[in-house]
Structure 1
């Protein structure tokens, strides 16, 4: 008997590393970096709700699921409706979901109307941003120029980046230069199923976090904070902070000084194989030979 499959976009507690992800057992992850237009509301009950229309980009994950999994998700949303003591608040609709490989039509659970009790907008359109509250330290995965600590010390924040955990490995992504600047491209993570990105993992506190949000232009809509699973010393750690370009452009060659920071900062952290890959790709893709 052929199994019936559906595509579904999840943006809250069903995501990897969240408390209800066990309900996705048997689901096929199609895209870890997925988003749709709307507004993400914090219900104050430990889970969010998606409102449409809205001008915010709401981030989540795209899955392929069978009817048994879909039934579990429907029941979860029914439980949420009962918590609100109202009917019809959640409903499942078909909606266009964006991914790094193009748009996909998928089911998504939305609020049909704003609950009478209201609710605050979730910052950055990402439910995992709630991990920012109540924490004193975070693991941060640097894959670009932040692997090099020279600028940290030049800008007087070096002391906040002294706790280096070691090499991190992010699977299913590639590093590309998709952020155009007048002097060349800047690094970004792009989802690619068979690719791997290696980087430098720091343990950081509040002052480092404040600096990173400024440096990455989060408030200006340049990069967004994202939480990813990173392999560290053979163990996968969920919800590691990194930053991803919001509006990706055509890949452009980085300026030489920027490429040098990446190569210099990664040299004693990433594997020799990955370091060669970074150098070879600069040569093959852009004709750049960068001395470190």
Structure 2
């Protein structure tokens, strides 16, 4: 089994500060949490949580937070987030895939490599065809 690099996480939905999963999964386990954005993706509304979908043309921006885990918490946090997102490597039943992508820190505009959970290919295809796009790209300000 190949070990995953210890990248920060880009969260854009229920793991953001003030959202239902933030305290349960992230409180006390992080060094930093800072606003950031993922360019080249759009956001779709799901059943109580969003899906980021990469755009083939590179358009769109998803807004969220870059979360850096405490080193001693990293393995447990990675496992917990994989379970939350129902992600298992190479499993065709995944709703999300965990991929490494560059995200941009809002604070200084620097690019950082981070783990992002994006809609798995079959889910992304369904969302592109029939999903409800969150035009703002920001789950925190989505329309009711």
Q: Shared topology, TM-score over 0.5?
A: yes
Q: CA offset at residue 89 of structure 1?
A: 2.9
Task: State the secondary structure of the residue aligned to 2:140.
Answer: helix
Q: CA offset at residue 111 of structure 1?
A: 1.0
Which 4+ stretches in 1 moved above 3 angstroms?
115-118
Answering whether residue 100 of structure 2 is matched by residue 94 of structure 1, we say yes
Q: CA offset at residue 112 of structure 1?
A: 2.4
Contact 1:91-1:112 within 8 A present in 2 as well: yes
Partner of 1:7: 8
Answering whether residue 111 of structure 2 is matched by residue 103 of structure 1, we say yes
Q: Which has the larger radius of gyration?
A: 1
Answering whether residue 122 of structure 2 is matched by residue 116 of structure 1, we say no
Task: State the secondary structure of the residue aligned to 2:100.
Answer: strand
Partner of 1:77: 85
Answering whether residue 50 of structure 2 is matched by residue 48 of structure 1, we say yes
Q: Which of 117, 126, 146 is the matching residue for 2:138?
A: 126
Partner of 1:237: none
Q: Which of 53, 66, 69 is the matching residue for 1:62?
A: 66
Structure showing greater relative contact order (alpha-carbon pairs closer than 8 Å, 6 or more residues apart): 2
Q: CA offset at residue 5 of structure 1?
A: 4.5
Deviations 1:12-38 (A, max 9, x none): 00000001112112122242x200120
Structure-2-length-normalised TM-score: 0.75
The CA distance in 2 between the partners of 1:59 and 1:116, in whole Å, is: 22
User: 1:1-292 alignment to 2 at 5 Å?
Assistant: 5-22=6-23, 23-25=25-27, 26-31=29-34, 33-37=35-39, 38-43=41-46, 45-53=47-55, 54-65=58-69, 66-78=74-86, 87-99=93-105, 100-101=107-108, 102-113=110-121, 114=124, 116=126, 118-130=130-142, 132-133=143-144
Q: CA offset at residue 109 of structure 1?
A: 0.3
Structure-1-length-normalised TM-score: 0.39
Structure 2: segments with no counterpart, 5+ residues: none
Deviations 1:144-165 (A, max 9, x none): xxxxxxxxxxxxxxxxxxxxxx
Query: Which structure dedicates a bigger proportion of its chain to helix?
Result: 1
Q: CA offset at residue 67 of structure 1?
A: 1.4
